[in-house]
Amino acid sequence: MNNAMLSYIKKDTPIHRFTGAAKLIFFIFWVAASMITYDTRLLVALVIVGGIAFRFSKIRFKDVSFVIYFILFFLVINTILIFAFAPYQGVKIYGTRHNLLHIAGSYYFTKEQLFYQFNIAIKYFVTLPMALLFIVTTDPSEFAASLNKIGVGYSIAYAVSLTLRYIPEIQGEYHDISFAQQARGIDMSSKEKFTRRIKNAISILMPLIFSSLDRIETISCAMELRAFGNNKKRTWYKERKFKKNDFLIIAVGVILFAISLGLNLHRGTRYFNPFI
């Protein structure tokens, strides 16, 4: 198993057996369904479904923990900034005001604002598990073949495959350069001052950039020597045909999007209002 962050983790699970294109189409409908609505009931249901899917994938939490903590950090920052710059946005949306806590001056924390920001936060928990599942359960080569099969040009599909492959390559290169720098006496541990650690981390970037450019040149030359792009079509070693389960997961995505859109049209608004 590749221990690099955000790299393909090979397992034999129902999630892994879906083709890359089917997962991508489902993910697009999934994100669209969560983004166009603020219906808390639907969002909570999507969180539960996402948790079940994550469970079935057999992906360990520690395999994606860094990314989750990183995104949660920005979620906290986003939540604080929303309240700082728009403390009564929830009041404007829901049309009522119930004060919970006086912060300072004219700042009051209201039930409406709490509910509004809860809905924003829960959207992260809807999209995050599915985004991670898509990345770590999709073979880059198979995904490129799937994209080409549904009409995406093979040059673009191959570029996507290279990008997904290149993420763990960059991570491995970063760790190698970091270990080499530490062997030369550059301290990257928590014992060093934070500003010094930042400066030492920056010293890794230049070797990483040059190494990446050299790798890009090597790949470009190899592809050119093999006459990549000269023909209109190409064959794929890991091409897989759509099966019944692939069409089923796409149908589920379409249904979820239809439910989300239908709720909006039925209420005439994107927001579920429990205060009236």
Share of the chain above pLDDT 70, in %: 93
pLDDT for res 187: 65
pLDDT of residue 173: 76
Mean pLDDT of 70-89: 88
pLDDT of residue 101: 84
Whether the per-residue pLDDT at 2 is higher than 60: the answer is no
Mean pLDDT of 233-240: 73
Q: Ranked by mean pLDDT, which of 7-11, 137-141, 167-171, 243-247 comes out on top?
A: 243-247
Cα angle vertex 175, ends 170, 176, to 5°?
95
pLDDT in tens, 50-74: 989 988 888 888 888 888 888 889 8
Report the range out of 5-9, 151-155, 180-184, 257-261 with the highest average pLDDT.
Answer: 257-261
What are the C-alpha distances in Å from 172 to residues 32, 175, 178?
A: 34, 5, 10
**pLDDT (0 to 100) of residue 229:** 66
Residue 253 has pLDDT above 90, yes or no: yes
Query: Using H for helix, E for strand and C for coil, what is the string for the chain?
Result: CCCCCCCCCCCCCHHHHCCHHHHHHHHHHHHHHHHCCECHHHHHHHHHHHHHHHHHHCCCHHHHHHHHHHHHHHHHHHHHHHHHHCCCHHHHHHCCCCEEEEEECCEEEEHHHHHHHHHHHHHHHHHHHHHHHHHHCCCHHHHHHHHHHCCCCHHHHHHHHHHHHHHHHHHHHHHHHHHHHHHCCCCCCCCCCHHHHHHHHHHHHHHHHHHHHHHHHHHHHHHHHCCCCCCCCCCCCCCCCCCHHHHHHHHHHHHHHHHHHHHHHHHCCCECCCCC
* pLDDT for residue 250 is more than 60: yes
Kindly state the average pLDDT of the residues 245-257: 94
The pLDDT value recorded for residue 122 is 93
The predicted structure's pLDDT at residue 77: 92
pLDDT tens across 215-232, in order?
777 877 877 776 676 777
Average pLDDT, the chain: 82
Give the per-residue pLDDT at 252: 94
What is the model's pLDDT at position 1? 42
